[in-house]
Structure 1
Amino acid sequence: MYGIIAIFTLAIVCSFLFAIILRFTSLQESSVQYVITAISFIALFTGGFISGGKGKQKGWLLGGLTGLIYAIIIFLFQYLGFDKLFNGEQLVYFICYILIAMMGGILGVNMSSKGRS
């Protein structure tokens, strides 16, 4: 749960910052699309890292579950709020989200175990 909270906290803060930047500059949303995607990946890695660090074992599973829960929440928001289903591109993104959160979970477990030694 800590990982999900961290992901959404980072996402809300970054969304707020980008909203301010887009509002008060001449930048268009399409010009910062890749930066926003990179920040999403960093947030998911961080969430997986926190989940793995708190769990102290099976980081791949904890990180994967963190990424999966995030993907389900985003899918439900998209489906219920905007009445849209997955397309192929989004499926690739969501698989990458889960894999990146898994990598964060693995690193989180390994970093927490080094601290105990």
Structure 2
Amino acid sequence: MGTAILYGVSSIFILFIISSFVFATLLRFTSITESSLTYIIMAGSFITMFIGGFISGGKGKKQGWVLGGSTGLVYMVIVMSYQYLGNDSLFSLREWIYQGCFVVTAMMGGVLGVNLSSGSRNA
């Protein structure tokens, strides 16, 4: 179970690093502003959390909602620790809501990952 969560959290951070690089490059070399990308970045964040939960559920092959939720919670704790220790600030109410939605999204990904990885292939 721990290995599945580690795979999920690792994939989330890898995807976030890649997408951050892409968006930073777009912002640097085009006339696009950060405010015009807000909703695209948010949608990408939810997709990334879903993929992380999906990978976690696929690796664990059982209890997808627990694996996905744990993956989301571990991610949230890492981000909260970084924000508190590195930036000396706590989550705002808006960030708590985002993080809660991220955890729920990772749970849904975990459930789907378990169902697709262990479903019958008798079609």
Place the TM-score, normalised by the shorter chain, in its bin.
over 0.9
- TM-score, with normalisation over the residues of structure 2? 0.91
Post-superposition offset of 1:115: 5.4
Cα RMSD over matched residues?
1.1
Instruction: Name the stretch that deviates more: 99-108 or 23-32.
Output: 23-32
Match in the other structure for 1:79: 84
Post-superposition offset of 1:116: 6.3
Post-superposition offset of 1:14: 0.3
AA aligned to 2:12 is I
The count of aligned residue pairs is 117
Post-superposition offset of 1:34: 1.1
Match in the other structure for 2:102: 97
AA aligned to 2:87 is F
Separation in structure 1 between the aligned mates of residue 120 and residue 30 of structure 2, nearest angstrom: 44
Selected match of 2:22 from 3, 17, 33:
17
Separation in structure 2 between the aligned mates of residue 46 and residue 115 of structure 1, nearest angstrom: 22
Post-superposition offset of 1:23: 0.2
String of CA shifts for 1:90-110, please: whole Å, max 9, x gaps.
010010010000000000000
Separation in structure 2 between the aligned mates of residue 74 and residue 97 of structure 1, nearest angstrom: 12
Separation in structure 1 between the aligned mates of residue 20 and residue 120 of structure 2, nearest angstrom: 33
Name stretches of at least 5 consecutive residues in structure 1 with no aligned partner: none
AA aligned to 1:54 is K
AA aligned to 1:90 is E
Moved over 3 A (4+): none
Separation in structure 1 between the aligned mates of residue 78 and residue 120 of structure 2, nearest angstrom: 33
Name stretches of at least 5 consecutive residues in structure 2 with no aligned partner: 1-5
Match in the other structure for 1:40: 45
Selected match of 1:112 from 112, 117, 123:
117
Post-superposition offset of 1:44: 0.5
Match in the other structure for 1:5: 10
